[in-house]
Amino acid sequence: MHDQLIDTYIACWNEADAARRAALAGKAFAQAATYTDPLMEGRGPDGIAAMIGAAQAQFPGLRFRRSGKVDAHHGVLRFAWELAAGDGPAVAAGTDIAELADDGRFARVIGFIDLAPEA
């Protein structure tokens, strides 16, 4: 049921073009949305899109992909992701917890890193 929203979210993390990334962020995040993980945070679709652009610069050649299924209840989602080169093994992975806004977009995403890239 929430697959399309999460697919848009993952596409946003993978979009290199700033304008297209901002458009995807606008589809995924409510206007007052927040994103927080151990390394960064952003506010609103534009701020989150800019934050994602900065994160992409740290991981050239790598792409995010969803892993596993989505758990959902009471307007809260939990889903996992991986960061890898193509179909290769994950170099990073995590779990995101998201609260939905009344319009069905993300109101808040809190990210946890389960596997970090080696230094």
**Average pLDDT of the residues in 43-68:** 95
Q: Can you read off the two tokens belonging to residue 92?
A: 């990073």
| 3-state SS assignment for residue 104 | coil
Strands (E), 51-104: 63-73, 76-84, 90-100
CA 76 to CA 91: how far, in whole Å?
27
Domain count of the fold of the chain: 1
CATH number, domain containing residue 101:
3.10.450.50
Range of the domain at 69: 3-115
Residue type, 88: G
Mean per-residue pLDDT over the chain, rounded: 95
pLDDT tens-place string over residues 80-100: 999 999 999 999 999 999 999
Percent of the chain at pLDDT > 70 equals 97
Q: Which pLDDT score, from 0 to 100, does residue 55 have?
A: 93
pLDDT at 117: 76
119 confidence band (pLDDT: 50, 70, 90): low
